[in-house]
Structure 1
């Protein structure tokens, strides 16, 4: 009986479709090195290339009945490894998009968290400064800016003139501007009645 090394690719293909393990072993030895070099050049990663070629041969054995007995085995194997390489690239691209998307989400979450912390700090600072206003001025200011009441409504509620309300709100804004700076002042200014 002749050695499997002497068989042609098409003879080996036929024997493979007949569940011949020695034919499979010869195909493996004949093509492994060439397929590995091809995959390694494309992937620039020897480990990934080894995995791709190994998976190709596993698939070849599992699908041996589908191999064309009189087909071009070399072309079949190179086409199969090319598809595996493209799948790896496609998978890497999806992975990279996922990682980029995840990083973007993390960055946005971090920015949002930072914003919320700054917002809470600013709110606490503003509340502290409002609490330090003289009692009547604080009451008028809170009715104006927090409860959004008009000067007329505040005057009626407290039994004072609208001019007094207006003056007290202006003084409160002036004090807050000097203590908190322009940003807080602008926040309250936009709520002006």
Structure 2
């Protein structure tokens, strides 16, 4: 749930942008629940959520001069939190529980019509991207990501080396990621969830 706007928020933003630690602390105390809550909702890990929320406020302080330009703090922090989570998840492999939760989050009956539309767009965009891959690359990608085979199993089934299997996957992911680069962050996140599965 978003917090109510601070009565003196504009003034606090100006003061924080000018370097006031007291003003920044007031913003921190007021918006911490929102930032932590957003991170927790997306990661399902209290420890990760706390670390990411702290990282976000640290980045805000390091770039505090930009705070004077912010008109909607709640929206700004939500977007920043979401992007930070996405960036974090790009750098790590999801565990199965996290993947299943986030996919369920975007496809459950509780999601909005917009979120469901984005998920359908992701499925279509991903399928189209996979279909443009060279035949061997496509075959390796499907065996890995759709059928869950390991590189050893793929190599044995296709009569190629494990190194070749890894190379094909690397090429496939680079090409698909490039084709999906124009989609929204939520689509990108779902794609990352999908391709990161073991």
What band does the TM-score fall into relative to the shorter chain? 0.3 to 0.5
What TM-score, normalized by structure 1, do the two folds share? Answer: 0.44
What TM-score, normalized by structure 2, do the two folds share? Answer: 0.43
Q: Which has the larger radius of gyration?
A: 1
**Greater RCO, CA 8 A, separation 6+:** 2
